[in-house]
Chains A and B, each alone.
Chain A
Amino acid sequence: MGRFLIRRLLLLAPVLIGILLVTFVLLRLIPGDPCKSMLGERATEEKCDAFRERFGLNEPIPVQFLRYAANLLQGDLGVSIKNGRPVSDVLAERLPMTLELTVLAMLFASTFGVALGVISAVRHNTALDVGAMVFANVGVSMPVFWLGLMLAYVFALALKGTPFQLPPSGRLTAGTELPSLLTVWGIEDAQGLLRFVVLFISNSVLLNALIQGELDIFLDALRHLILPAVAVGTISLAIIARITRGAMLEVLTQDYVRVARAKGLAEHVVILRHALRNALIPIITVIGLQIGGLLSGAVLTETVFSLPGMGTQMVDAIIARDYPVVQGFTLIVAVIFVVVNLLVDASYAYLNPRVRVS
């Protein structure tokens, strides 16, 4: 197992270098003079020279790339052109929201997706199965942002006054405030990695509320995230349900399932312990593959629910031509994506020892 992981980690290196190259090249692809497009058409020659000096744009391209990589290794993602803040600060502020949404959506999609898939497979060819699969087909075809808007309409307006009413926007009910952990722990002057980590946790409202023991705020934040998470997770739920159903149908015809039934095990034990466990590999693969779609969905859905995450930040950054922010976020997301895929691979090796050898 250890050797398998090390080999996979080594294979990760070229991909990471590739990701760096792409995000680096991205900034060099800007049509025209980068100075003019970032500082505006009226930037003077002196200003442009200073700008090129500052961003090292007058150096040979390989040198620029090495400098970019070296800065990244030191945690320096550059500075936002729009407001001069370090990109790492912007990420620490905005990314936790997006990740919370992604994780919740993933939990929602995998729990309900696997359950729906198992039920359809067990009740194969009944009305329930047909209904579930029609839902799955429709579910994968819905644009997340549209589903978000529709959910907001139904749960915030149509069901207003019922117990099912849910807030359609924002992260916390207006007036609710949660102090930053930097203040709570009295380390406002912390620097570097410590500051980044504490800011990150602190901006993840769910975690922060739990750490501070504010259960009401935790539940409030959770309520605000239900609709966005359902919107983001539905496509993945549908995909996971389809794959689970297929995998289960295949496993249920196997001899060991018949044996398990023959020796008189309860049906739920046969389904969950014998069949589902052996159907898990394709299911985990597809759950892992969803992370990219979920992150993209989160970015699209934040704008619908006015959530202060990376998605809204990205749109602002793109309109303001704030390239370092776009670059930093793209880089981080790609790294998350690659690492999750690695974890999925590692989980195969755990679930199926045969993978470790090949």
Chain B
Amino acid sequence: MQPTGAALRSVEPNQGPLPFCAQSPFGRAVRRLLRNRSAQAGLAIVVTLVLIALFADIIAPYAYDQQIRQPGLRRRSPPCIHVLGCEREKPQLLMGLDGNFRDLFSRVIYGARLSLQIGFVTTGTAILIGTLIGAVAGYLGGWADMVLMRAMDVLLAFPSLLLAIAIVSVLGPGLINTLLAVAIVSIPVYARVVRASVLEVKEKDYILASSALGASPWRILLMHVMPNSLTPVIVVGTLGIATAILDAAGLSFLGLGAQPPTPEWGLMLGEERNSVFNAPHLVLFPGVAIMVTVLGFNLLGDGLRDALDPRRRV
């Protein structure tokens, strides 16, 4: 790390000519991405989290719902780490016990799996539907555009988390309904982004050529317009995963999302929020987990934007 502000500058200077083999647009984007400090940090965090999620069964010393009852172990026991001088007779508890005698460290580890799933599933769903709406609106124009985009405007007129809360209140609390609500409220963002880039792409000569060759509108839309319009979606989607994880955690914190004993970080915080004064570790660790995850996707998203946005390439 240089001690300067380079890590945070949005544009990295072009460090000399690139080798010939890396000149494809994709290769160039990847190189720019890997050279970007915030992308490096973000990618490191996200890859680590994915590994933790994949190998949660091996990393976590206990099951997420396993109660550890031993003489001398109290409910909400603080962390006990042997190398830091905790008695060897006691079981090692990296983050302490929660209110139900469960190992908090194991629950936080399993929580990574859940939070990544929440982030990917909601954002994936929202991108799928949003892209379709945006592409159809931008490509067809006219009244379809008008109706679809005004509908999106109305959804955007609500603060997203509050609309999600309202949707969950109607559908009933639960993890699936939370995912659905968070996905619904993020659709308009993707619809707008895709529409804007479709409007730009559809005027290009290769679209005209394809249409002159007799391709059907759907074929043009799916085979030519969409692949060329998706770059901004990658950026917005990465940042969207961060928002989705935060929103879902918020709903679970209020008791409207995941239900016990699910190891969801927001729910873990919500369950133990009244213990903050006598067992702060129960609030600290799940919160840090959320923060690090969200930070990872935010940094990666910023890095992707710098690497992929043509306006920033100069």
A residues at B contact (CB < 8 Å): 14-15, 18-19, 21-23, 26-27, 29-31, 124-127, 129-130, 133-134, 137-138, 140-147, 149-150, 152-153, 156-157, 246, 291-293, 295-296, 299-300, 303-304, 314-315, 317-319, 321, 323, 326-327, 330, 333-334, 337-338
Contacts and interface: CB of A to CB of B under 8 A. Distances in A.
Contacts of A315: 254-256
B144 to A, nearest CB: 17
B170 A141 contact: no
A102 to B, nearest CB: 11
B278 to A, nearest CB: 9
B148 interface: no
Contact of A299 (B3, B153, B162): B162
A292 B10 CA distance: 26
Contacts of A15: 153-154, 157
Q: Which 3 A-B pairs have the closest CB atoms?
A: A18-B154, A292-B159, A146-B287
B5 interface: yes
A14 B169 contact: no
Nearest to B245: A143
- Interface majority SS (helix, strand, loop, mixed), chain B: helix
A337 B266 CA distance: 26
Which one of A318, A319, A326 has the greatest number of beta carbons of chain B within 10 Å? A318
A150 B283 contact: yes
Interface residues of B, number: 54
Contacts of A319: 173, 255
Contacts of A137: 8, 38, 295, 298-299
Given A126-B5, A143-B246, A149-B276, A323 B159 contact: no
B168 to A, nearest CB: 7
Contacts of B55: none
Contacts of B250: 143-145, 296, 300
B253 interface: yes
Contacts of B266: 143
B171 A19 contact: no
B273 A304 contact: yes
Given A145-B269, A338-B157, 9 more contacts: A19-B154, A26-B166, A27-B170, A30-B170, A133-B5, A153-B276, A315-B254, A315-B256, A330-B166
B95 to A, nearest CB: 15
Nearest to A299: B162
A125 B159 contact: no
Contact of B287 (A23, A143, A318): A143
B80 interface: no
Contacts of A125: 4-5
Contacts of B284: 150
A131 to B, nearest CB: 10
